[in-house]
Structure formats: structure tokens, C-alpha cells
Amino acid sequence: MTTAEQGAHPVRALRELEDSRASVRLRAAMTIGSTPDPRSVEKLVERCATETDFSVREMLTWALTRHSASVTVPRLIDELVSERPQARSQALHTLSKIGERRAWPAITRALLSDADDEVARSAWRAAVVLVPEGEESALAGALATQLGRGGRETQLSLSRALMALGGTASATLREAVTDLDPRVRHHALATERLMRDPDIGFEFAIEEAKRVAVLQDGPGGGA
């Protein structure tokens, strides 16, 4: 390949990110990641906000991790206030993969409780990766406010985030198991159970938590 061809290659790849075929977009993102150029970052971030194919989004994230964090992290932080939920979610996901802890202040309580489940889940995953030493207890408290939220996948994501905080989350969960909301109690009990035995499975832990709650609440409780 000539020098001119090499220079044209990333430019062509950036154009191909708009192709209607996911296979072409996937190859383009791979090419960009293989030949990092700070001028590609803006287009990669923009595409993350609209890309419909999961595999392509993952490749876009990989391509961004191949670039300098000094360029990518500030741009990704800007995306966290986007009106597009996917832009916020994918930026959080990418920040968690980069692992640059100076992004921590951008993981706000608003993101941890975002109305969009996918954004919130991405925020939880990013938070446990980026949390600085000494901030784990405060993070556990913030995460605990989301106990009982959503369906299986959302609840499992939150349980995993709390489990990643280890013993720091234990005191918070002990408080949550007495919450007036049965969904919160069940989720907290299930998370405690998973912390003791991660191999039992989330569904089993939830069902066991419901049985435990019924016994704790007495006749008529938890039904």
C-alpha cells in the first residue's frame, strides 16, 4: 500500500461508518481502531449515539479505547449530558472500558438513577470501575436507592454492581432488607444471598428472598 493509500484508508473508514450495512460499519470501526488518529474520535463518539447494531457499538467502543484517554475522556464526558439515552449509555460503557478515574466526578447521582434503565445500568457498571478509594460506601448508598427497580436484567445489573463493592455494600444491604417496599426487601435479600454464593443464580436468590421475607413478615406478609 502506498503512502497516499494509507492516508486515505482512515478517511474512507470514517465515511463507511455511515454505510447501511452493519458488516461494513463493523469493519470500518475495526480499521479506525487499528490506526488510531485523534481526528477520528469525534466521529466515533457521534456514531456511538446512533448505531443500531450491538456488535458495531462494541467495536466503536474498542476503537475509542485505542485512542489517547486525554482526547477521548473529555469528549465522552460531554456525552453524559446528551438528550439521547444511547449517547449517555454508550459513553458510560466506554468510560468503564477506558478505566480513567478522572472521569469519576462525571458519574453523577442523576446518571445512577437515570430514568432510562440502560443508562442507569451503564452508570452502575462504570461507577464500580471508576470509584476512588474511600468513596465506595457513598456509592453503595447511592446504588441502594435503586433496589427493586425494573425487571430481571436491571435488578441483576444492580446486584452485580453492589457485589463488586464487596463488604462495603453489606451495611447498606442490611438496612435495605427492612425497607417497607417488598420489591426493595426482596432485591436486597437476593443480593445478600448472591454475595454469599454467587453460583446459585439470580432467579433462585429472588425466590428464596421472597420466602424469607414472608417468614420475617409473619402471617399475611409478603403475599
- Nine-digit cell string for 6: 494509507
CATH 1.25.10.10 fits 9-130, yes or no: yes
pLDDT value of residue 13: 93
- Nine-digit cell string for 150: 425494573
CB 148 within 8 A of CB 177: no
| Domain range list for the chain | 9-130, 138-223
pLDDT value of residue 101: 94
pLDDT value of residue 11: 85
Query: pLDDT per position in the chain (223 positions), as tens?
Result: 444 444 456 789 999 999 999 999 999 999 999 999 999 999 999 999 999 999 999 999 999 999 999 999 999 999 999 999 999 999 999 999 999 999 999 999 999 999 999 999 999 999 999 999 999 999 999 999 999 999 989 999 999 999 999 889 998 999 998 999 999 999 999 899 888 887 776 776 777 766 765 555 555 444 3
DSSP one-letter string for 130-166: HPPTT-HHHHHHHHHTTTT-SSHHHHHHHHHHHHHTG
